[in-house]
Amino acid sequence: MLSTINTEGGFGNVTPQEARFLKTQEDNFINSRASLLRKNNNIDTSLYDKYNVKIGLRNKNGTGVCVGLTRVSDVHGYETDEQGNKIPAPGKLLYRGISVENIVNACISENRFGYEETSYLLLFGKLPTEYELNDYKKILGARRELPKGFARDTILGSPSRSVMNQLAKEVLALYSYDNKPDDISAENVFRQSIQLISYFPSLLAYSYQAKRSHFDNQSLHLHYPSSELSTAENILRLIRPTGEYTDIEAKLLDIAMILHAEHGGGNNSTFTTHLVSSTGTDTYSAIAAAIGSLKGPKHGGANLAVIYMMQDLKENVTDITDFKQVENYLRKVIKGEANDGSGLIYGLGHAVYTLSDPRAQLLKRMARRLAEENGLMDEFMLYDFIENTGSRIFSEMTGSDVVLPANVDLYSGFVYHALNIPLDLATPIFAAARISGWCAHRIEELTGSNRIMRPAYKCIADDQPYIPIAKR
């Protein structure tokens, strides 16, 4: 009897014996041509200078190539002199011209949630009045629950080992539940944006629960979202088996989401949103593309790199309060003898920020509060030591004079650990925060620009004659 074989890549309805044979053939074919792939896709890096190509859309001094204009946010990490050289400066992050530090400080001093206010600000370009904010919260709340049958058919019925890949699939699937999916008018895109922002807590939570149940043989815990709760509260309610959380836990996650909601038009996932939106495609395709970008370990997945590094540190350091041991570990990391061999201390350094990442400092304040309440001060001081010592050690060992400030991933790693957020959800929660920024940039691209993006690539392949197959 034929059966569907769940093999790597899959071969449809074949017998186990046939599947093994096909898999062997495929492996042999791929392995025998791997060197050819590398040879014919390799590019001599000196050619980038020869043709004045901005590799990675970066200038020689490391600054990004300016390819667009935006009103949504500003990421300020350095000054430039008349020669175009970077001059280090304290980091600033502005949402619609308003310092994110002021937004977070207001939420802390007034002891309230702020992600929804931030979302409104990013979308509309102004701070809401109390009446406008309450209306916005009500609209988000009314949309928290997924379309009827969606969780059963799309999420539980077809789980994935990767929650991020599952999220992308689910966002694309929502296209089929929309009566006007291809309408790119500002009104319709705004409606779609509200729905996606509202849905994300349920999407990521159910995707995670489906993954745990199907692939990890764990119990399935499903809760309904609450229309009365904030985005951060709903996430904690939905991902935890009991649905319980403390006020400080929810408010810490809320601040983390505010700080991850937006970061300029040039970060990879937001640029992807602009790029894809410039084609005039639908909202679901644009946001799914952004999710795919964010998943990458060089982008949104960087928070996982911090968490994995800290796990490795604890496995190789007998006492995390013995900072001499910790320093020795960091030296091994830089030499490529510890962790993943990359030579990088994850959580330090940033592509834009040169002296300080304002998000890291703000998150650190709330993280300390949670550490004090939950008896995690030893853990917190470990992160603090890495922040204050890592850059110095790196300079001593490499001779570099570049400052490596703590970036947001360092303390978000601690926050996720302190909140007992599973590793599978670290980047999806980032996506749940950034969805407001993506939607704001998509609306900006559709209304403020009317030209498809079309950058150029210089072809360096030599001309070759076509040889008939019989003569090859």
Q: Is 281 helix (H, G, I), strand (E, B) or coil?
A: coil
pLDDT at 264: 95
Average pLDDT in the 225-246 region?
A: 96
Q: Are 101 and 255 in contact (CB under 8 A)?
A: no
The predicted-structure confidence for 32-65, as pLDDT tens digits, reads as follows 988 888 888 899 989 999 999 998 898 887 788 9
Angle at the Cα of 208 (from 268 to 426), degrees rounded to 5? 40
Listed range (61-70, 346-355, 460-469) with the worst mean pLDDT: 61-70
Characterize the bridge pairing of strands 73-80 and 86-95: antiparallel
Helical spans, DSSP H, in 267-301: 268-277, 283-295
Query: What phi-psi label fits residue 336: left (phi over 0), alpha (psi between -120 and 50 degrees) or beta?
Result: left
Numbers of helices and strands, H then E, in the chain? 19, 5
Residue 367: pLDDT above 50?
yes
Question: Helices 426-448 and 115-124 meet at what angle, rounded to 10?
Answer: 20
CATH number of 302-418: 1.10.230.10
Residues marked active site are found at 299, 350, 409
Angle at the Cα of 131 (from 129 to 134), degrees rounded to 5? 105
Question: Residue 251 and residue 230: Cα distance in Å, rounded?
Answer: 10
In the chain, where does the domain assigned CATH 1.10.230.10 lie? Answer: 302-418
Residue 184: pLDDT above 90?
yes
For residue 323, what are its two tokens? 């900072």
Question: Residue 304 and residue 313: Cα distance in Å, rounded?
Answer: 14
**Residue 242's pLDDT band (cuts 50, 70, 90):** very high
The predicted-structure confidence for 76-108, as pLDDT tens digits, reads as follows 999 888 877 888 999 999 999 999 999 999 999
Handedness of CA 349, 350, 354, 360 (dihedral sign): negative
* pLDDT top residue among 90 and 450: 90
Fold of 115-299+423-448: Citrate Synthase; domain 1 (1.10.580)
The contacts of residue 1 (CB under 8 Å, 6+ apart) are none
pLDDT at 431: 97
Q: Compute CA 14 distance to the chain's CA centroid, rounded to the nearest angstrom.
A: 38
Average pLDDT in the 193-197 region?
A: 97
Q: Compute CA 396 distance to the chain's CA centroid, rounded to the nearest angstrom.
A: 31
The predicted-structure confidence for 306-321, as pLDDT tens digits, reads as follows 999 999 999 999 999 9
Average pLDDT in the 385-392 region?
A: 95
For residue 306, what are its two tokens? 């911090």
Question: What Å distances lie between residue 472 and 34, 40, 175, 282, 469, CA to CA?
Answer: 20, 18, 47, 45, 5
In the chain, where does the domain assigned CATH 1.10.580.10 lie? Answer: 115-299+423-448
